[in-house]
């Protein structure tokens, strides 16, 4: 019985937990009527019902009132500051979705409902939180908040009683351990010349991310590519990767075209200090590394400044804030305009891809300051 419980715990990683949650709902609803399953209004209504439950009116991690974000694999409603740390964990651990900014599917709401909300999440992931341990609060510094969230979800340090926990070896660990010791007998200095364990680089990167303070969100609409370079025999299978600081996301792959239309929205947290937004276009290959098809960098600081300045604006009609002129030597293929549209500060950009024969990439940016 104890062995089965232990195996169940080891298998219950965030990704497997999310998969089993969704699979469970799929199996429960196989014989049901799915007439409303794709209705966004129905999903929104159910989401609001979950958000209005008493335990969900406060951030599951720090207690901030009126959380407007959700960590979907765990089923927790969280505030925007905690959402920044959840994003830095990577989507394989925590998938963050905005209650107001994103369109929810019925499956996503089902997974959230099945998780039980903040009360169930904290009962599970804070089950053995030490009495003298300080849980994150609203006034916690960024690094303290990040440390708690990583221990709670990624490392799951509070899921089991520490007095019954023990270090577990992966299969083959003993063999590796013996080989390492056998190798060290051949000479005292041999190991000092070997390549260093990359784990320290991973830890350093995690610490760097934990120290980052986020100032808002940027929505990146990847619209289309034009006249992209050929990387296969006659065409390419392009996709776009966006990078902002330590974060990265990529679009779907469009097969066999030099003029792909993505119309896909990606969203990243904006760290402080604000780095440039990097966009890289690749050709997807099956049996070799993906080929580069150009890149570009965008300074998003003017957009952020405009969003802060006009966040409380009462302007109801569309209006231009500023214009950046294109030129032969500019990365802009067309003039780029920052404007207010329906109360949102947006920038439409057509980029001339760099370090490639030819190609353009059309995108649209929207900045959402932290205060919103």
With cut-offs at 50, 70 and 90, classify the pLDDT of residue 143. Answer: confident
Q: Pick the residue with more confidence: 226 or 267?
A: 226
Higher pLDDT, 317 or 335: 335
Q: What is the mean pLDDT of residues 25-40?
A: 47
168 falls in which pLDDT band (50, 70, 90)?
A: very low
Predicted pLDDT of residue 179: 47
Please report the sign of the dihedral spanned by the C-alpha atoms of residue 127, residue 129, residue 135, residue 141.
negative
pLDDT digits (tens, 9 = 90+) for 272-298: 889 999 999 999 998 899 999 999 999
**At 112, is the pLDDT very low, low, confident or very high (cuts 50, 70, 90)?**
confident
Model confidence pLDDT, tens digit, residues 62-80: 999 999 999 988 999 999 8
Question: How many other β-carbons are positioned within 10 Å of the β-carbon of residue 102?
Answer: 15
Indicate if the pLDDT at residue 86 is higher than 60: yes
| Res 93 pLDDT > 60 | yes
CA distance to 107, 228, 271, 307, 367, per residue, from 371 (Å): 30, 39, 14, 11, 12
Tell me the pLDDT of the chain averaged across its residues. Answer: 79
**pLDDT band at residue 38 using 50, 70 and 90 as cut-offs:** low
**Other Cβ atoms closer than 10 A to 94:** 25
- Rounded CA-CA distance 18/25 in Å is 11
> What DSSP character marks residue 32?
S
Residues 306 and 345 sit within 8 Å (Cβ to Cβ): yes
The stretch 94-102 carries a mean pLDDT of: 86
What proportion of the chain, given as a percentage, has pLDDT over 90?
Answer: 44
Residue 254 has pLDDT above 90, yes or no: yes
CA 131/CA 26 separation, integer angstroms: 39
- Which of 19-28, 114-123, 131-140, 299-308 is predicted with the least confidence, judged by mean pLDDT? 19-28
- Which pLDDT score, from 0 to 100, does residue 371 have? 61
pLDDT in tens, 345-372: 999 999 999 999 999 999 999 998 866 5
Q: How far is CA 211 from CA 40, 61, 84, 99, 246, in A?
A: 37, 17, 11, 26, 12
Give yes or no for residue 7 having a pLDDT over 50: no
| DSSP code of residue 276 | P
Q: How is domain 213-369 classified at the CATH fold level?
A: Immunoglobulin-like (2.60.40)
Q: Which residue ranges does the chain devote to CATH 1.10.220.150?
A: 2-29+39-154
Please tell me the CATH superfamily of domain 2-29+39-154, with its number: Arf GTPase activating protein (1.10.220.150)
Q: What pLDDT, on the 0 to 100 scale, is given for residue 69?
A: 92
The pTM of the full predicted model, rounded to 2 decimals, is: 0.58
Binned at pLDDT 50, 70 and 90, residue 197 comes out as very low
Dump pLDDT digits (tens) for 115-133: 889 999 999 999 999 888 8
- Is it the case that residue 199 has pLDDT exceeding 80? no
Cite the residue boundaries of each domain of the chain with CATH code 2.60.40.150: 213-369
Which of 25, 94, 26 shows the shortest CA–CA distance to 60? 94
């Amino acid at each position: 019985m104890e062995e089965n419980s232990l195996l169940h715990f080891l298998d219950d990683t965030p990704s497997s937990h999310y998969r089993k949650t969704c699979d469970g709902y799929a199996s429960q609803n196989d014989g049901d009527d799915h007439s409303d399953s794709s209705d966004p209004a129905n999903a929104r209504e159910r989401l609001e019902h979950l958000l209005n439950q008493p335990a969900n009116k406060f951030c599951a991690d720090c207690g901030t009132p009126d959380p407007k974000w959700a960590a979907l694999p765990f089923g927790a409603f969280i505030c925007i500051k905690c959402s920044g740390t959840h994003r830095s964990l990577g989507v394989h651990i925590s998938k963050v979705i905005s209650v107001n900014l994103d369109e929810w599917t019925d499956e996503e709401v089902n997974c959230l409902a099945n998780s039980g909300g903040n009360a169930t999440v904290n009962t599970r992931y804070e089950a053995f939180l030490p009495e003298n341990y300080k849980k994150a609060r609203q006034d916690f510094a960024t690094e303290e908040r990040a440390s708690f969230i990583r221990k709670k979800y990624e490392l799951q340090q509070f899921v089991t009683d520490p007095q019954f926990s023990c270090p577990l070896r992966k299969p083959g660990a003993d063999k590796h351990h013996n080989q390492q010791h056998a190798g060290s007998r051949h000479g005292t200095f041999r190991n000092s010349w070997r390549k260093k364990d990359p784990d320290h680089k991973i830890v350093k990167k995690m610490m760097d991310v934990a120290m980052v303070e986020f100032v808002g969100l940027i929505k990146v609409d990847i619209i289309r590519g034009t006249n992209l370079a050929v990387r296969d025999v006659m065409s390419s299978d392009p996709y776009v990767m966006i990078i902002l600081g330590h974060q990265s996301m990529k679009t779907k792959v469009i097969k066999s075209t030099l003029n792909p239309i993505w119309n896909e929205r990606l969203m990243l947290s904006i760290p402080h200090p604000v780095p440039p937004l990097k966009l890289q276009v690749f050709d997807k290959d099956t049996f070799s590394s993906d080929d580069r098809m150009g890149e570009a960098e965008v300074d998003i600081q003017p957009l952020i400044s405009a969003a802060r300045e006009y966040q409380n604006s009462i302007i109801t009609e569309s209006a231009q804030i500023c214009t950046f002129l294109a030129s032969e030597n500019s990365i802009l293929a067309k003039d780029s305009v920052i404007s207010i549209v329906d109360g949102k500060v947006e920038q439409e950009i057509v980029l001339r891809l760099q370090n490639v024969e030819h190609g353009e990439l059309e995108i649209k940016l929207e900045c959402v300051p932290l205060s919103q």
